[in-house]
Structure 1
Amino acid sequence: MNYFYLPLEEWTNNFVDFWLIPTLGGFFDALSVPIALILDWVVYLLLLLPPELFTIILIALAWKFAGRGVAIFTLVGLLYLGSVDLWVDGMQTLSIVIVATLLSILIGIPIGIWSAKSNGVNQVVRPILDFMQTLPSFVYLIPAILLFGLGGVPAVISTFVFATPPCVRLTTLGIKQVPEDVVEAARAFGATSWQMLAKVQFPLAIPTMMAGINQTIMLALSMAVIASMIGAPGLGNIVLAGISRVNVGLGLIGGLGIVVIAIILDRITQGLNPKNS
């Protein structure tokens, strides 16, 4: 018998039941309100646009940033979503990805810059990112349910936690990879720390940062699908229903819808990277 396992389980449960929820429960409830509001608005806006108009916008973006082939694939893929009645589910999944990715960018990029500027911060952030990246994705669902209940909000939170590390890591890498002679030249011309970051390091780091954002979007999409297990709306529910009913056709329909959205987002965001243009 593993005598260490039971005490660790007990200590964890007691910490959550007797300190975390009573102490910070109000904070998590307050945090869920704006996230739910933003998520609802994004879903509303995506569904407000007629599917035909949304399709034209995405085709134009794909053509501009990724080329004619991706634009044709976008047309065929979105026609597929509409033809198998997955449009609403696809927009719900896309809304979770959008909100979680925006949170990851808003929080991940400043932390990445801070880590690049401070070795002390980097030493603290690196093991946290290692933990976030190596922890199995299903484990994120347990605290998400416990602290935020079921639905879209815990899906956004768990997706945000799972998808943020690439954004932080590649932002740090991009800033650190700026050639030292360029930094020294800017410093010689009297650039302040803020000017150095805004006018020298940040612009030169954008290609690497865009690669991080691309990976964040892909991880967000994969986690948004897994989050269907905690009541997240979208294409994940179709796949989950196919698994629970052992319905191969239903699972394939939902899976292909996820593939369509993933490829479109991947190719367009890759096209936004200055290095690939």
Structure 2
Amino acid sequence: MASSCWGLPSLLCEAPALSGQTLRAMRRTIDGGFRDMVRSMSPYIDAATAPLQRFLNALEGVFVDSPWIVVFLLLLIVIHVAGRSWKITLGTAFALFAIGWVGLWQDAMVTLSMVTICTLTAVVIGLPIGIAAARSDRAQQIINPVLDVMQTLPSFVYLIPVVVIFGIGKVPGMIAVVIYAMPPMIRLTNLGIRLVDKEVIEAADAFGSSERQKLWGVQLPLSLPTLMTGVNQTIMMSLSMVVVASMVGVGGLGRNVLQAINNQFFTLGFLNGFALVAIAISFDRASQAFGKRLQRYTEVHND
């Protein structure tokens, strides 16, 4: 068999590796220690996640239990106010009507409530982190490698620590979705603030503006188009991660897609996939149109 290794010694042909017994001992030690730590902290973990569970249940109840026509009209109003386009509004109306017509309204509302909470949470957490990265080069050097790792890891990997720490349920799925969807918000907040014209910052300094006044009165308003792009990407990534998060107990359209994959139900998978795509396109077009309006307003205001 030495000839199959180009005549090299076997030591150079076989990759160095720990013995199976050593690896098993390491896994038992690490997994056991981590499990014991999680068990000791479980009362604090439950107390910390209880408000999220209540908030999620309340919003889901509003979306699911309210008369469908009320939710339907409310969503159209939100889409029209954001996009200011009758084409986008009519397209959203058709998509929502089609979702209800094929019997997926309730599942779509469960998914929509999850995406709404995850997007708001990701924005609330990601915005200050992006501001910190924009105002400090050292903070940016620390945050960027973390974001690189977060955006490189496969989406399924996020579920492993979340399930080990928080267990199975909607809140663990929500946490996984927020972690997965947050990097674009952080990166684009950082980018938008750093791209603000230096002359505008110098003018604010000349008028004696404090750092807080410059941030809220100059940098954030001028970077709103970029921030809206971050919100748009956060929504899209939340919708894509909802399907993966269905593996840990998140209901809605993602659970149906997972069932269709497991049982090879083509029609069920297609219809639920269509519903997810329809929701994603509607919110994508509306948020993009809102971002373009902000950009035009900013350009006119600067002129």
TM range (shorter): over 0.9
Pair 1:134 & 2:155 matched: no
Pair 1:221 & 2:236 matched: no
State the alpha-carbon separation in 1 of the partners of residues 187 and 28 from structure 2: 34
Q: What one-letter code is carried by the residue in structure 1 that aligns with 2:153?
A: L
Pair 1:186 & 2:204 matched: yes
The alignment's TM-score, normalised by the length of structure 2, stands at 0.86
Q: What one-letter code is carried by the residue in structure 1 that aligns with 2:77?
A: A
State the alpha-carbon separation in 1 of the partners of residues 69 and 232 from structure 2: 26
Deviation at 1:32, TM superposition (A): 1.6
1:61-140 equivalences in 2 (<5 Å):
61-66=78-83, 67-140=85-158
SS at match of 1:232: coil
SS at match of 1:24: helix
Pair 1:52 & 2:72 matched: no
Contact 1:175 1:205 in 2 (8 A): yes
State the alpha-carbon separation in 1 of the partners of residues 59 and 175 from structure 2: 16
Pair 1:3 & 2:18 matched: yes
Which protein is bigger by CA-based radius of gyration?
A: 2
The alignment's TM-score, normalised by the length of structure 1, stands at 0.93
State the alpha-carbon separation in 1 of the partners of residues 69 and 36 from structure 2: 52
State the alpha-carbon separation in 1 of the partners of residues 249 and 122 from structure 2: 22
- 2:42 maps to which of 11, 14, 25: 25
RMSD across aligned C-alpha pairs, in angstroms? 1.9
Spell out, residue by residue over 1:37-94, the C-alpha distance to the aligned partner (whole angstroms, 9 max, x if none). 1100110111233211222222233334331221121111111111111111111111
1:166 counterpart residue number: 184
Contact 1:62 1:267 in 2 (8 A): no
Cα 1:191/1:90, change in 2 over 3 Å: same
Contact 1:151 1:233 in 2 (8 A): no
Contact 2:79 2:283 in 1 (8 A): no
Return 22-31 or 113-122, whichever deviates more: 22-31
Contact 2:110 2:252 in 1 (8 A): yes
2:262 counterpart residue number: 244
Cα 1:15/1:177, change in 2 over 3 Å: farther
- 1:206 maps to which of 224, 227, 236: 224
State the alpha-carbon separation in 1 of the partners of residues 275 and 66 from structure 2: 19
Pair 1:275 & 2:295 matched: yes
Contact 1:155 1:232 in 2 (8 A): yes
Cα 1:12/1:73, change in 2 over 3 Å: farther
Q: What one-letter code is carried by the residue in structure 1 that aligns with 2:62?
A: L
For structure 2, the 5+ residue unaligned runs are 1-14, 298-303
Contact 1:93 1:225 in 2 (8 A): no
Percent sequence identity is: 39
State the alpha-carbon separation in 1 of the partners of residues 67 and 287 from structure 2: 23
Pair 1:13 & 2:31 matched: yes
For structure 1, the 5+ residue unaligned runs are none
SS at match of 2:223: helix
